[in-house]
Amino acid sequence: MRTHIVDDFPQGAHEGDTLRGLPSRPHGLALADRVLGLMAAVPAALLVLAEIVLLFSGVCARYVFHRPLVWGDELAGILFLWLAMTGAATALHRGAHMRMTAMVNRASKESAAFWDTVALVASLLFLGLIAAPAYAYIRQQWMIETPALEINDGLRVAAIVYGVALMLLMSLVKLLALGWKPALTGIVVSAAIVFGLDTAGPVLQSLGNLNLLIFFVGVVGFTVLSGMPIAFSFGLAVFSYLSLSTSMPLEIVVSRMDEGMSQLLLLAVPMFIFLGLLIEMTGMARAMINFLASLLGHVRGGLSYVLIGAMYLISGISGSKAADMAAVAPILFPEMKRRGERPGELVALLSATGAQTETVPPSIVLITIGSVTGVSISALFTGGLLPGFVLALALCALVWWRTRGVEPVSAKRAGGSEIMKTLIVSIPALALPVVIRLAVVEGVATATEVSTVGIVYSLIAGLLIYRRFEWKRIGPMLVETAALSGAILIIIGTATAMAWALTQSGFSHSLASFMEHLPGGAVSFMAVSVVMFVLLGSVLEGIPAIVLFGPLLFPIARDVGIHEVQYAMVVILSMGLGLFSPPFGVGYYGACAVSKIHPDEGIRPIIGYMVALFVGIVVIAAVPWISTGFLRTQ
C-alpha cells in the first residue's frame, strides 16, 4: 500500500507519523522539525492566497476594466515556482509525497524500520547531490532579466535552492531522530554507494544504453519499492545516470525540473485543489447529494446511484479525488450501512467512481496531460464529460444487476415538495460547473484563471446562501493545498528531467518505432496503450506516467489516425482503472482511508466494478464519437 498520494489521500498526516521508530524525539530535534515545517508551510500558504488574488485580479482587470495586467502572468510564474518548492517541502514534512509502501508494509517491524531508513537515506542522497547544481543554476539565471517586471530571474529560481535546503534539513532531522546508530549506518552506506558508483563510472560509460536499465529500471525500482518518495526516486535516477554515464553538466537536471514545474497551465492544480476543499467546507457538496438522494433514495440500490451521480457532479467542480471522496462518503455511507450495504461493497463502489470520474473536468489529470502534450485543455474539458458518463452507466448497470433481487429497505419516498425544496437549495451548487464551463467558453477566464472564478463564486455562495463558512479552516486549507500541489509539481519536475534524459538517450525513438510498427495499426496501438497505462497507473501513478510517456506516445497516436482527445480519454481512464485497483492501486487505499473501511473487505467486491469499468473503456476506445462528438459543436 502507498500511504500518500497526490489527490487521493485525507489530510492531516505528518511525515513524523509515517516513519517507524520515532515514538519520541529529543527536544532539540523536535523544535528544529517544527521550525522547518513553519518555514515551509507559512510561505506556501501565503503564496497560494497570493496566486488566487493575483489571478482573479487579472480576470477583473481584463474582462471588467479592459485593462489587462501585462505583468500578471510573469509575477504569477515567479510566485508559482516558490509555491511549488515550498509546497514540496511542506509535503515532505507532512508525509504527503507519493510513496510506494506495498512491500514495506508487508515486512516485519524490524525490516520495515530498515527500509524506512533506506528510503530516508536515499532521499538525503538525492537532495544533497542536487544542491550544488541548483546553486550553479541560480548563477546561470542571474544574468537573465524578466521582460515585464525587469527583475533578476535568479530570484525566481532561488526557490529551488530554498526548497531543496529545507527538504535536506528536514530529512537530516528525521534521520537523526532514528538514533545515532541507524543514522551513522545510513551515512556510511550512502558514502559507500556513491564511492562505488563513482569508481565504476568509466565502466558505466562504456555500457551505452544498458545504463537505462541500470538507472531507470534498477535504481528507480529499488528506491520506489523501498518507500522513497517517487519524485526523489526519479530525480536520483536521472542525476545518477547523467553524472556517471554521460559528460553532460548536472545543471541540466535542475533546468529540466524548472521547466516542468514552471508551466503556467499547471497553476490550475493548486487553484482547483483549494476549490475542492472549499466546496466541501461551504456545504455545496452536501446540497447536491441531498438533491440526488431525494430523487433516488427509495429505489433498490438507490443510494448507490446517488453515490455514482454525486461523484460525477463533484468531480466536475473540485478536480481532486481526495475532496470528492471526503465530501461524499461521510454523508452517504452511514445511511447506506443502515440499509444493509456491506462495507466492502461501499468502498469498492467508491473506488470505482473515483476511476470513473478521472476525465470529468476540471480534472487535474486533464490539465497535466494538456500541459505536457500540447492538446487543447478546452477540448479535453469538453471531451471528458461523455466518457465519464458512459462509465457511470456501466457502473449503474452493475448496481442494477446486483440489487435486482434485493428487497429495498423501507425508505420514505420523497414527495414533490421535498424534492423541489432540495432542488432549490442545490441550485447554487449545481450551477458551479456551469459557471466554470461558461467562463472558459465565453473567454472570461483562461483554463488557469477559471478556478479563481469558481473560488469567488463558492465564497459568495458559502457566505450569503448556505451561511456555512468556517474562517478558522482557511489557513489549514491553504497549507493542505500547498502540500498536495507541491507533491504533484515536484513529481512533474523530476519526471520531466527523466523524460528529457530518455529522449536524449534515443530510447524515445526506439519506443516510438516499436509502437508505430505494431501489426494491426490503430487497433493494436490502442489495445497496447490500454494495457500499458493500466499497469503504469497501478505502479507508477498517473501524473508521472503521463509526463514520462505522453509526449512520446501522443504523436504516434496522431500518426496512426487516433484523435488526440480520444486517446487522452482512453489513457486517463486506463490509468484510473489501475490507480483504483488493488493490490497496488493507491487510489483504492485512499478510498479505504476516507471511508474508514479495512482494505481486505473490498478486495472481492471490487472485481466486478473493475470489470465494468474495463468494458466501458473498451467501448470508449472503439467509439471515437464518445470523446470527440461534442468538439465539432464548439
Same-domain pairing of 296 and 400: yes
- Considering only 185-194, 353-362, 595-604, which range has the smallest mean pLDDT? 185-194
**Residue 281: what residue type?**
M
pLDDT at 322: 62
Q: How far apart are CA 441 and CA 439, in angstroms?
A: 6
Mean pLDDT score, 435-448: 78
Same-domain pairing of 276 and 256: no
Examine residue 155 and state whether it is found in any structural domain, yes or no.
Answer: yes
Is the model's pLDDT at 493 over the cut of 80? yes
Same-domain pairing of 246 and 283: no
Which residue has better confidence, 88 or 305? 88
Mean pLDDT score, 297-306: 76
pTM: 0.76
Same-domain pairing of 246 and 284: no
What are the pLDDT digits (tens) for 335-350? 777 777 788 888 889 8
Examine residue 495 and state whether it is found in any structural domain, yes or no.
Answer: no
Mean pLDDT score, 311-336: 71
The residue from 231, 264, 297 where one domain ends is: 264
What are the pLDDT digits (tens) for 103-156? 666 766 767 777 777 778 888 888 988 899 999 999 888 888 888 888 888 899
Same-domain pairing of 538 and 621: yes
pLDDT at 39: 95
CA angle 552, 556, 558 (to 5 degrees): 125
Backbone angles phi, psi at 178, to 5 degrees: -70, -20
- The CA dihedral of 46, 49, 55, 60, to the nearest 10 degrees, is -130
Same-domain pairing of 395 and 515: no
Mean pLDDT score, 223-251: 83
What are the pLDDT digits (tens) for 147-189? 888 888 889 999 999 999 999 999 888 888 877 777 777 677 7
Examine residue 490 and state whether it is found in any structural domain, yes or no.
Answer: no
**Residue 46: what residue type?**
L
Q: How many domains does the chain have?
A: 3
Same-domain pairing of 219 and 270: no
Which percentage of the chain shows pLDDT scores above 90? 21
Same-domain pairing of 234 and 323: no
Within the chain, what is the greatest distance between any pair of CA atoms? 80
What are the pLDDT digits (tens) for 52-92? 999 999 999 988 888 888 898 899 999 999 999 999 999 99
CA 501 vs CA 198, 498, 544: distances in Å: 19, 5, 15
632 band by pLDDT with thresholds 50, 70 and 90: low
What are the pLDDT digits (tens) for 536-566? 777 665 666 777 778 878 888 888 889 999 9
The residue from 449, 471, 493 where one domain ends is: 471
Examine residue 147 and state whether it is found in any structural domain, yes or no.
Answer: yes
Examine residue 518 and state whether it is found in any structural domain, yes or no.
Answer: yes
**Residue 2: what residue type?**
R
Average per-residue pLDDT in the chain? 81
CA 395 vs CA 8, 9, 294, 389, 542: distances in Å: 20, 23, 20, 10, 22
Asked if 132 and 33 count as a contact pair (C-beta separation under 8 A), the reply is: no
Give the contacts of 325 (CB within 8 A, at least 6 positions apart).
8, 311, 350, 354, 590, 591, 594, 595
Same-domain pairing of 37 and 183: yes
pLDDT at 41: 95
Examine residue 618 and state whether it is found in any structural domain, yes or no.
Answer: yes
Domain containing 610 equals 502-633
Examine residue 99 and state whether it is found in any structural domain, yes or no.
Answer: yes
Same-domain pairing of 104 and 173: yes
Is the model's pLDDT at 214 over the cut of 60? yes
pLDDT at 16: 38
State the burial class of residue 194 (Cβ atoms within 10 Å of its Cβ: 0-12, 13-18, 19+): middle
Count of other CB atoms within 10 angstroms of residue 146? 16
Is the model's pLDDT at 224 over the cut of 90? no
Same-domain pairing of 194 and 78: yes
Examine residue 489 and state whether it is found in any structural domain, yes or no.
Answer: no
